[in-house]
Amino acid sequence: MKCPFCHHEETQVLDTRVSEEGDSIRRRRRCTSCDKRFTTYERIELAMPVIVKKNGSRTEFDSSKLRASFMLALRKRPVSAEAVDAAIHRIEEKLRSSGEREVMSNHVGELVMRELKRMDKIAYIRFASVYKSFEDITEFQDAIAEVHQDRKPNGK
């Protein structure tokens, strides 16, 4: 492992710990040349499925696009960055664990809508209005009615 400070090739591992989730290993390292310390994380790298767009074109999964969608919908809403990170992580896990090599973009959109609905109803309506291409006020009213229905105890 190269030192991020002096780029020396030799570093010494001082401490190794498994993360609380058990999905990564944290290593504290010390450069044998400049004596500076830094942390590295070792994670399993699983391939994400390719996203198939509506027009049939294919593109690599890009979590930054997912994050941008969340941030746009959640603009000026009281939702923490940790909540957004957790939602993105859940979506990525669902996509990875599906075992599919290709996933339709509308499936990813549905996963985003499900997470937004859980996090913030206003952000959900914002995202749904663009994602579902609302063309008139009745589509907004239907989405709002759906959110209201979900808020009632026992779905009644």
pLDDT in tens, 31-87: 999 999 999 988 876 778 999 998 999 999 998 999 999 999 998 999 998 999 999
- The Cα 41–Cα 64 span in angstroms is 20
Which residues, other chains included, contact 90 with Cβ-Cβ below 8 Å and sequence gap of 6+? 115
Answer yes or no: is 1 within a domain.
no
Give tens-digit pLDDT for 20-32. Answer: 778 889 999 999 9
Residues 36 and 55 in one domain: no
Residues 34 and 103 in one domain: no
- The Cα 105–Cα 56 span in angstroms is 10
Residues 33 and 57 in one domain: no
3-class SS of residue 37: strand
Residues 38 and 113 in one domain: no
Residues 56 and 15 in one domain: no
Answer yes or no: is 2 within a domain.
no
Residues 136 and 80 in one domain: yes
- Structural domains counted in the chain: 2
45 — phi, psi (to 5°)? -110, 110
Residue type, 58: R
Strands (E), 1-156: 11-18, 24-31, 37-43, 50-52, 58-59, 102-104
Residue 89 sits in which domain range? 50-155
Residues 100 and 148 in one domain: yes
Q: What is the pTM of this model?
A: 0.59
Residues 55 and 103 in one domain: yes
